[in-house]
Amino acid sequence: MAMLHTVNKSPFERVSLDSCISMAQKGSSVLLIEDGVYAALKGTTVSDKVSKAMDGITFYVLGPDLAARGMTEDRIISGIKVVDYAGFVDLTTKHENFQAWL
Amino acid sequence: MKFGILINEGPFTHQAADSAYQFAKAAIAGGHEIFRVFFYHDGVNNASDYSVPPQDDRNVTDNWVKLAEANKIDMVVCIAAAQRRGLLDANEAQRQGKRGDNIAPVFRISGLGQLVEAGIECDRLLTFGD
Amino acid sequence: MAEPWEEQSEGTVKKFMFVNRKAPYGTIYALESLEVVLITAAFDQDVSLVFTDDGVFQIKKGQSTAGIGMKNFSPTYRALEGYDIEKLYVDKESLDARGLTAADLIVDVEILSRQQLADLMNEQDVVMSF
């Protein structure tokens, strides 16, 4: 049984991402949306934390939120998958339950 | 799959309502059912019939009205949260002695039990908030 | 008169977890989420409460709100037992980070590690976070 977590807060402003990572079990997934997409960028002060968490947790980022913020896929940590809203819907159906880290 | 959606923020200040709307549209396009959208906290402001954004901006309330009408989605506004924030339907406005009502069509006012029921009835209940 | 929560879905009991992550008074989330918790219990659902991040401040002893003109709702946490809500969990890491101990809390709680909370969360049918 695996959970889908969403994080919609910038990791530079709030602890939502930290809390999510520490309470997400191995095998679960994290989808970064809204201002949470900044956690997907490489070369930042949080990139290492995210890369480490990817050992056990699968990370996704919402493409439309990235594009809106002027970020292209080449700026994303390798291994993070970009999905659209249809992909978001699919992720919720493929996981048993859902928690939003606001 | 049957989805319930909980929206905890009003339109414009936070992206939550927009994200929920985009999700709902994609879920319907994917052949899923939106059993209910429940508006809580400042989310009740999504139901304001008096919202008049500039013409080059999206009208969040109108978007909900159109989506709900086209897909027969049950749109429920929490009564306690709505009354705190000055959102009243015609019955409540009359009961409270207020000059007018301001809940857009398709939204209905009800209790928090409707949120719990969505949690029980739906395969997934998703929260969009801040 | 029938209350809204009495139109309940017959017999289904789901596991509802409420993840409280926000401090009281600065925003309304703590107060309004407590209202959802009480209604969920009235539906005879299996209810757990988690206090983590700034949510641990919700259950700090000795809250006195006279000076800010707001209602002190912290006694409600002590009344939860009367609604058969007995699964109250506190994140040890959040407590430690804020210089608090169990002696600072208004209610009896079980203090758990993040790993233990992760396991509990994983068992839930519905997780709501405010």
Per-domain boundaries in chain C: 13-129
Q: How many residues does chain B have?
A: 130
Full 3-state SS string of C102-114: HHHECCCCEEECH
Minimum CA–CA partner of C15 in chain A: A97
In this structure, what CATH number is given to the domain that contains residue A20? Answer: 3.40.1260.10
User: Does C6 have pLDDT greater than 60?
Assistant: no
Q: Does A25 touch chain C (CB under 8 A)?
A: yes
Q: What is the pLDDT of residue C11?
A: 84
Considering only residues 6 to 65 of chain C, which have any Cβ-Cβ distance to chain A shorter than 8 Å?
19, 21, 52-53
Q: Which chains touch B (3 or more CB pairs under 8 A)?
A: A, C
Instruction: Give me the residue from C53, C121, C123 closest to A99, CB to CB.
Output: C121
Determine the structural domain holding residue A32 and report its residue range.
3-101
Q: State how far Cα C16 lies from the chain centre.
A: 11
Confidence of residue A10 (pLDDT cuts 50, 70, 90): very high
Q: What is the pLDDT of residues B100-129, one digit of tens each?
A: 999 999 999 999 999 999 999 999 999 999
User: Does A70 have pLDDT greater than 70?
Assistant: yes
CATH topology of domain B2-128: Hypothetical Protein Ychn; Chain: A, (3.40.1260)
Chain A residues in contact with B128 (beta carbon < 8 A): 100
Confidence of residue A2 (pLDDT cuts 50, 70, 90): very high
Q: What is the pLDDT of residues B42-94, one digit of tens each?
A: 999 999 999 999 999 999 999 999 999 999 999 999 999 999 999 999 999 99
Chain B residues in contact with C16 (beta carbon < 8 A): 116, 119
d(CA C90, CA C93): 9
Considering only residues 11 to 50 of chain B, which have any Cβ-Cβ distance to chain A shorter than 8 Å?
15-16, 19, 22-23, 25-27, 29-30, 32
Sort strands A58-62 and A29-32 into parallel, antiparallel or unpaired.
parallel
Q: What is the pLDDT of residue C7?
A: 53
The question of whether B122 is a catalytic residue gets the answer no
Q: What percent of chain A has pLDDT over 70?
A: 99
User: What b/e readout covers B62-97, taking b as 16+ CB neighbours within 10 angstroms?
Assistant: ebbbebbeeeebbbbbbbebbeebebbbeebbeeee
Q: What is the pLDDT of residue C9?
A: 53
Region A5-24: mean pLDDT is: 98
Region A78-86: mean pLDDT is: 98
Q: What is the pLDDT of residues C36-79, one digit of tens each?
A: 999 999 999 999 999 999 999 999 999 999 999 999 999 999 99
Query: Number of folded domains in chain A?
Result: 1
Chain A residues in contact with C127 (beta carbon < 8 A): 3, 97-99
Chain A residues in contact with C114 (beta carbon < 8 A): 22-23
Q: Which distant-in-sequence residues (6+ apart) come within 8 Å of C91 by Cβ?
A: C50, C51, C52, C53, C56, C111, C112, C114, C117
Domain C13-129, CATH among 3.20.20.120, 3.30.2350.10, 3.40.1260.10, 3.30.70.20: 3.40.1260.10
Confidence of residue C1 (pLDDT cuts 50, 70, 90): very low
